[in-house]
Structure 1
Amino acid sequence: MRKSGTWMTIWDDRILETLRKEGGKPVGELAEEDGIRISHSSVSRRCKKLAEHGLLTPLGNGVYTITDSGKAYLDEEYDAENDVYLNGNGSRDGQTASQTSES
């Protein structure tokens, strides 16, 4: 089971899943996806929030791509609430995403 953050919505999972499958995309294209049924402005807000929490990276001009933490979250190897990688598949037990980027 995915360990979502209390700050997350169901649309965050859809955004992450789409970016993982299709690669980096602009907010406008994400808002037009069949599986994402929220407005352009809502997609933009969600992408900004996901980026603030390290699950997406903004590439500029409204384009976002998924991070390793975002992929780990989808694979149930990352706790988004506590910013911690979970045990399994050689993940970084007990380290936060920010700690792993500093190593």
Structure 2
Amino acid sequence: MTLWDDRILELVREIGAGSPKMIEDTGLVRVSRQHISRRLNRLANYDLLTPLSNGIYTLTDEGTAYLQGDYDAEAGEFVEDMDEKKWRLPSETSSPL
């Protein structure tokens, strides 16, 4: 994940849906439209965005959780709350033999 990925996700969240042109036109992501297009595709591969027709993408539940720090896109899993994990009983965390 890159700095631009986070910014692209934030913009898609703010505007509700985004295409490479829409994101480029904001002037807030200072890379080429082609680069934005590649990153949108990569973010969809991580299940953070859903591609719609005509190159438009929307944020998924995983994308929203990622922006909140509750989803690890590279691992493809939700991040467990450390406080919750700390207070679990040993029998809840160990697997049966």
1:27–1:64 Cα contact (<8 Å) kept:
no
In the comparison of the two structures, how many residue pairs are matched?
81
- List alignment gaps of at least 5 residues for structure 1: 1-7, 89-103
Percent of pairs identical after alignment?
46
Q: Could you say which residue in structure 1 is the equivalent of 2:56?
A: 63
Alignment deviations for residues 2-26 of structure 1 (CA, whole Å, 9 cap, x no partner): xxxxxx1111000000011110122
Scaled by the length of structure 1, the TM-score of the pair is 0.74
Q: Could you say which residue in structure 1 is the equivalent of 2:11?
A: 18
Larger helix proportion, structure 1 or 2? 2
If you compute each CA radius of gyration, which structure gives the higher value, 1 or 2? Answer: 2
- Structure 1 stretches (4+) deviating beyond 4 angstroms? none
Larger strand proportion, structure 1 or 2? 1
Q: What are the residue-to-residue correspondences of 1:9-48 with 2, within 5 Å?
A: 9-48=2-41
Bigger relative contact order (CA 8 A; separation at least 6): 1
- List alignment gaps of at least 5 residues for structure 2: 82-97
Scaled by the length of structure 2, the TM-score of the pair is 0.79
